[in-house]
Structure 1
């Protein structure tokens, strides 16, 4: 598989009454995911009940392992009934432009 880093943006929108539940489940997953091999970045952000994970994985193999990791299964199990819509997960390709030091995520 490719040895290039893989960037993922995963967005979850909580039902209004479930914002705290979704936040807590996301925060619980972070510690375990940070221990996964190849996890360069797994950062949670929030705005108005929408939670966004910005992720960077060392390569496709690391992302594949993450997709089947216990922390991910537990997270989706915990938040599934609390989401207002299905998760929106995007796998991104870097667009090279501008200052390389400011134009890309760094490990």
Structure 2
């Protein structure tokens, strides 16, 4: 069963470009990880949001210890305004099922 994750991070005002660059550099490697179905970065002001979908909990677990993630958080850790907020979500499907949930 797919696992959806939303990871939100806020950059310090002087670090927005650095955080954006580090996040975008991680994307290609993460896209190549087993079980990655979606890993999309979004931005608003100083806030960066990854919307992710993994094939299953094992794929997400592997991702959490992958080199790209270690490098990313090693680079941006001190440039964030607080800790990242990472939530695993369960779909609440309503309306048209094709439009009411992320799909692999």
Q: TM-score, normalised by structure 2?
A: 0.99
CA deviation vs aligned residue, 1:33-64 (integer Å, no higher than 9, x gap):
00000000000000001000000000001001
- Give unpaired runs (5+ residues) of structure 1: none
Question: Which sections of structure 2, spanning at least 5 residues, go unmatched?
Answer: none
1:77, CA displacement in angstroms? 0.3
TM-score by length of structure 1 reads 0.96
RMSD: 0.5
Matched, 1:82 2:75: no
Is the counterpart of residue 63 in structure 1 residue 60 in structure 2? yes
- Deviating beyond 6 angstroms after TM superposition, the runs of 4 or more aligned structure 1 residues are none
Specify the alignment match of 1:25 in structure 2.
Answer: 22
Q: State the secondary structure of the residue aligned to 2:102.
A: coil
The alignment partner of 1:104 has SS state of: coil
